[in-house]
C-alpha cells in the first residue's frame, strides 16, 4: 500500500493522524484565495515534486501525476514486487481520477488568453489527460499489462480497485497496481464546486469545517492526494512469499439513473448488497463501514437510509465513520484512501472517528464513531463511494484467513 494525503506522506503518517482525530483542512496556500468565497481546503503540505523527480521532469507532469507516482512507488516497495521481462505483461494498472490534470488545463488556458495560442506548452496534453498518471506509472515502473483509467467522479478510486479485483479474478492478470489520485485545488475547480452549492463555507474555522452527519453540516471540503494498493491473486502472492494485509472479497457497482448530482437510496443500497453477496457475507457480520459521508445535507441522509435498507436492525450495531471529516474529499482519490483505511482498521483493530460530530441529526441516527477512535476487532470492513453522475461503488475487505 502507498499513500500521500493532507494528513501525511505515507500510509503510517496518515493512519496515525486519522486515529488521533486530526484534521488536514487549513487555509489554501496553492493560490491566492482572498477574493474567493471559499478559503479552505485540505492540501498535501510540504511536498516538493522536484525532490522526487528532479526539476525538469517535475515540470512536465501535473501535480496529480506527482502524487500518483509517489503513492505508486510506495506501494511497489511495500509489496516488494519486482517488475521484470518475465512478469511485465501479467501485471495491470487501474487508476481512478475524476478530473485528472485540471490545474494544467487551467494554467495553459490562461497562457492562451494572455500570451496567445502559440505559447501553450507542448506538454499540455500529456499533462492534463485523466489517464496521465496511469501512463506515467506504466512508464516509470515498466508495467506492460492492461492499463486503464477509471473516471466515475467521486467513485473513481473505488471503482478502479473493484475493476482491478475483477481483472485478477478473471485471470487476465495475476496482479494489479490500483487506486486513485486527484489534485483539484485551483481557482476554477473551487469556484465551480462552490457555485453549485457543494462546498462548506465554514471559512472561519477550517479544522471544524468538514462535519459529516452533523446537523450543522453545509457541504464538503475539497482535498487532494493519492492512494495505491497492489492487488494479487492469492496463488501469486503466496508463491512469492508476499505479506498479505487483507483480502478483497466483494465489489458492487451501480448507477442511480436518477439525477446528475442529487443522490438516491436504491443505487447505493444495491451496490452494498451486491458487494456483500459476492463476498458471501451477511450484513450483521460487517464490523466497520467507512461511509462516503461527504458532509453535504443530501448525501449523508441518503447514505444513512441506504445503510438502514441493507443492514436492517444491524445498522445500529455496526461502527460507521467518515474519514473525510479529516482528509476532506479528494474526489477520484478518496475511494482508494478509504479502502486503505479499511485495511488498516482490520490490521490494527481500530476504527477511526468521524470528527466534528457535535449536533445530532434526527435523520442521521446511526453510530458514526463520533470524535474519538474506537478499539475493537475488525474482521470485515465495507467502504462506500458515490459520485456525481449517480455512480456507486462498494468494496468489502476481510481479514486474511478470517
CA distance 48 to 35: 26
Catalytic member of 236, 292, 364, 391: 292
CA dihedral angle for residue 254, residue 277, residue 297, residue 344, rounded to 10 degrees: -110
Contact 162, 395 (CB under 8 A): yes
Whether 337 and 96 have beta carbons less than 8 Å apart is answered as no
Tell me the three cell numbers of residue 238: 503466496
Task: Point out which residues pair with 288 in neighbouring strands.
Answer: 319, 381
Are the C-beta atoms of 93 and 175 separated by less than 8 Å? no
**Cell numbers at 253, concatenated:** 457497482
- Computed on alpha carbons and rounded to an integer, the radius of gyration of the chain in Å comes to 20
Catalytic residue from among 9, 66, 154, 236: 154
Active site residue 292: yes
- Residue 247 sits at the vertex; the CA angle it makes with 245 and 252, to the nearest 5 degrees, is 135
Nearest to 324 by CA among 393, 225, 251, 215: 225
Is 329 among the residues known to form the active site? yes
Catalytic residue selected from 9, 33, 236, 329: 329
| C-alpha to C-alpha distance for 249 and 263, rounded to whole angstroms | 26
Q: Is 284 a catalytic residue?
A: no
What are the residue numbers of the active site?
Answer: 154, 292, 329
Amino acid at each position: 500500500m502507498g499513500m500521500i494525503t493532507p494528513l501525511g506522506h505515507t500510509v503510517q503518517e496518515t493512519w496515525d493522524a486519522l486515529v488521533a482525530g486530526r484534521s488536514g483542512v487549513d487555509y489554501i496556500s496553492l493560490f491566492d484565495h482572498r477574493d474567493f468565497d471559499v478559503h479552505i481546503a485540505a492540501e498535501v503540505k510540504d511536498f516538493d515534486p522536484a525532490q522526487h523527480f528532479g526539476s525538469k521532469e517535475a515540470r512536465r507532469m501535473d501535480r496529480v501525476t506527482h502524487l500518483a507516482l509517489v503513492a505508486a512507488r510506495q506501494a511497489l516497495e511495500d509489496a516488494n514486487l519486482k517488475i521484470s521481462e518475465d512478469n511485465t505483461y501479467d501485471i495491470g494498472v487501474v487508476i481512478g481520477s475524476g478530473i485528472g490534470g485540471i490545474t494544467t488545463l487551467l494554467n495553459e488556458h490562461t497562457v492562451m488568453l494572455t500570451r496567445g495560442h502559440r505559447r501553450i506548452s507542448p506538454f499540455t496534453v500529456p499533462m492534463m489527460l485523466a489517464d496521465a498518471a496511469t501512463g506515467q506509472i506504466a512508464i516509470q515502473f515498466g508495467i506492460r499489462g492492461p492499463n486503464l483509467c477509471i473516471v466515475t467522479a467521486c467513485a473513481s478510486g473505488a471503482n478502479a480497485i473493484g475493476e482491478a479485483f475483477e481483472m485478477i479474478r478473471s485471470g487476465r492478470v495475476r496482479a494489479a497496481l490500483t487506486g486513485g489520485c486527484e489534485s483539484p485545488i485551483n481557482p476554477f475547480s473551487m469556484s465551480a464546486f462552490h457555485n453549485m452549492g457543494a462546498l462548506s463555507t465554514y471559512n472561519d474555522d477550517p479544522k471544524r469545517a468538514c462535519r459529516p452527519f452533523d446537523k450543522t453540516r453545509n457541504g464538503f471540503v475539497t482535498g487532494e492526494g493519492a492512494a495505491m494498493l497492489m492487488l494479487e491473486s492469492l496463488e501469486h502472492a503466496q508463491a512469492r512469499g508476499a505479506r498479505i494485509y487483507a483480502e478483497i472479497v466483494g465489489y458492487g457497482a451501480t448507477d442511480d439513473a436518477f439525477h446528475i448530482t442529487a443522490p438516491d437510496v436504491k443505487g447505493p443500497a444495491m451496490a452494498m448488497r451486491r458487494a456483500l453477496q459476492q463476498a458471501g457475507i451477511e450484513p450483521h457480520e460487517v464490523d466497520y463501514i467507512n461511509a462516503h459521508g461527504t458532509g453535504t445535507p443530501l448525501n449523508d441522509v441518503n447514505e444513512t437510509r441506504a445503510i438502514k435498507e441493507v443492514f436492517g436492525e444491524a445498522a445500529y450495531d455496526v461502527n460507521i465513520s467518515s474519514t473525510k471529516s479529516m482528509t476532506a474529499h479528494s474526489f477520484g482519490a478518496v475511494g482508494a484512501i478509504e479502502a486503505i483505511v479499511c485495511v488498516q482498521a482490520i490490521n490494527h483493530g481500530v476504527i477511526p472517528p468521524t470528527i466534528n460530530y457535535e449536533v445530532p441529526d434526527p435523520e442521521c441516527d446511526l453510530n458514526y464513531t463520533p470524535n474519538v477512535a474506537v478499539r475493537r476487532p475488525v474482521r470485515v470492513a465495507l467502504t462506500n463511494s458515490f459520485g456525481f453522475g449517480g455512480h456507486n461503488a462498494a468494496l468489502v475487505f476481510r481479514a486474511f484467513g478470517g
